Amino acid sequence: MPEKNIEACILAAGMGTRMRSNRPKVLQRLAGRPLLAHLLDTLDALEPSRIHVVIGEGSELIQAAFPDAKNVNWVMQTERLGTGHAVMQAATHFSPGSHVIMLLGDAPLISVDTLTTMAQMDCDLGVLTVDMKDPCNYGRIVRDVNGNVTAIVEERDATVEQKAIQEINTGGMVAKASLLSHWLTSLDCKNDQREYLLTDIVAIAANAGCKVSAYKTSEVTEVTGINTFEQLASLEKEHQGRNALKLMEQGVHIIDPSRFDLRGEVKVGKDIVIDINVILEGKVVLEDGVTIGANCIIKDSKIGRNTVIKSNSVIDETIVEADCSVGPFARLRPGTHLKKAVAVGNFVEVKKSTLGEGSKASHLAYLGDSTIGTSVNIGAGTITCNYDGVSKHETHIEDNVFVGSNASLVAPVTIGEGSTIGAGSTITRDVEGNVLAVSRGRQKIISHWQRPAKKSLKKDRPGKK
Ligand code: UD1
Ligand code: CA
């Protein structure tokens, strides 16, 4: 980590007019998280002493979205008078000896490496630049005959020759706080936009004989800014492609990287196979040999060795241990824990429940607020009736219980070890161990029963022949 005292200043006061949204631009989501969250996380690695975030319209929404943002100093920019004006609002908070890294809130994918390089630049003012095939709408980097950076010229103020320059301003800059504050006092708004442009500090610094350097990155994705949903979508695609590539490099077999989404972090073991349209969200752990079928969503969960998650399953805040089989079409809700070799099949919903080793709920069941022992069989259509309209109650099913199909277990209730519940039973009281509990009407046989017959249709009904 750099020894300099680093502060950061993120410009995030824009509403992103070009997105036509009621939401501040930095709250738009990339990979499932607000743009600003990406920047704050990446900056964290640099251990800056403070992060000043300049906000304006929708500031309450932004602050509310980051209730635990330690180290963030929210700075209000009530009038949006340009990027230079935005930094001016933060400047009074800079500590004199520090180096300030300035970033645009709408460019979320800058890397720790790039930030570290910027922090280590030996100059008074450093500018992060990149070559763009189509530099249209960006500020152009103007250099003198010796290659020294002398100015940044915005598209609207650029001459025809300047417009041909392909090296552009990414918006990332680093400067000594005391000099920066001084340069900012010289800014004016004599430009086509009538704004205080941060980019003008480059010419101000260069003219004052200060050392201005550029660090040109080749990572266009890292510095791509978002102004429209179209740009957001293409950055998302690019970002997801990279996520998939990184995982493949770690040995994960992703069947189609263009149909894989990571919206958080995943820790992977070996020999994992991920079929198409899988979304991993939050913090996910996949141990060796896990297979995930098509169209699964797995969020904040841990999947144990050799477990198979079959297609169309949705898993949230769940621990699935080794050798389990889940799905197709299973839903595991928060607080679920499947121990070793559990099978949860199609159209089974489990919430806040533990299933012991080797237990099975193969089809069409709801298991909520329940503790289920080892080697239990839950028949199709079984429901734990955990809610009485006011409170939730628990169901305990001990080891080796066999619950027949279509049973309703009205909680709170305990089914003792080794017992059997007859199909179609409604169990309202505790069942002791090793018994058969049946509660259903006895079957009656009515002989010679005549089923009602339909009257024959009239032949001359209109429209019928
Ligand atoms: C800016 C740069 C341009 C660069 C481009 C890279 C300036 C003058 N121009 O242009 O050189 O090539 O980014 O993407 O800096 N903001 C505020 N307060 C304001 C104005 C803007 O906080 O008063 C924030 C916005 O929320 C945004 C960022 O600053 O996050 C950049 O503003 P934007 O208007 O998008 O600048 P660009 O026209 O993209
Ligand atoms: Ca922009």
For residue 97, the domain's CATH number is 3.90.550.10
CATH of the domain at 417: 2.160.10.10
- Residues whose CB is under 5 A from ligand 2 (ion)? 106, 225
> Does residue 315 belong to any structural domain of this protein?
yes
Please count the structural domains in the chain: 2
Instruction: Specify the residue with its C-alpha closest to ligand 1, atom 22.
Output: 13
> Does residue 444 belong to any structural domain of this protein?
no
Does ligand 1 come within 6 angstroms of the Cβ of 338?
no
Q: What Å distances lie between residue 327 and 159, 311, 332, 342, 414, CA to CA?
A: 62, 7, 10, 11, 27
Same domain, 71 and 152: yes
**Looking at ligand 1, which atom is closest to the CA of residue 139?**
11
Percent of the chain with pLDDT over 90: 93
Among 99, 239, 363, 396, which one carries the catalytic annotation? 363
38 is catalytic: no
Same domain, 433 and 300: yes
**Rounded Cα distance, 437 and 420, in Å:** 6
**Rounded Cα distance, 19 and 23, in Å:** 9
Substitution site in 19, 83, 184 for ligand 1 pocket (most atoms within 8 Å of beta carbon): 83
Q: Which ligand is nearest to the CA of 11?
A: 1
pLDDT single digits (tens) 333-388:
999 999 999 999 999 999 999 999 999 999 999 999 999 999 999 999 999 999 99
Same domain, 212 and 247: no
Q: How confident is the model at residue 322 (pLDDT cuts 50, 70, 90)?
A: very high
pTM score, two decimals?
Answer: 0.89
Q: Which ligand is nearest to the CA of 201?
A: 1
Q: How confident is the model at residue 192 (pLDDT cuts 50, 70, 90)?
A: confident
Same domain, 150 and 259: no
Domain boundary among 223, 243, 266: 223
Domain that holds residue 299: 229-437
Does ligand 1 come within 6 angstroms of the Cβ of 81?
yes
Same domain, 18 and 62: yes
Q: Beta-carbon neighbour count of residue 405 at 10 Å?
A: 17
14 Cα: distance to centroid of ligand 1 (angstroms): 8
Task: Using alpha carbons only, give the angle 49, 177, 83 rounded to the nearest 5 degrees.
Answer: 100
pLDDT single digits (tens) 231-270:
999 999 999 999 999 999 999 999 999 999 999 999 999 9
**Sign of the torsion angle spanned by Cα atoms 139, 142, 147, 150:** negative
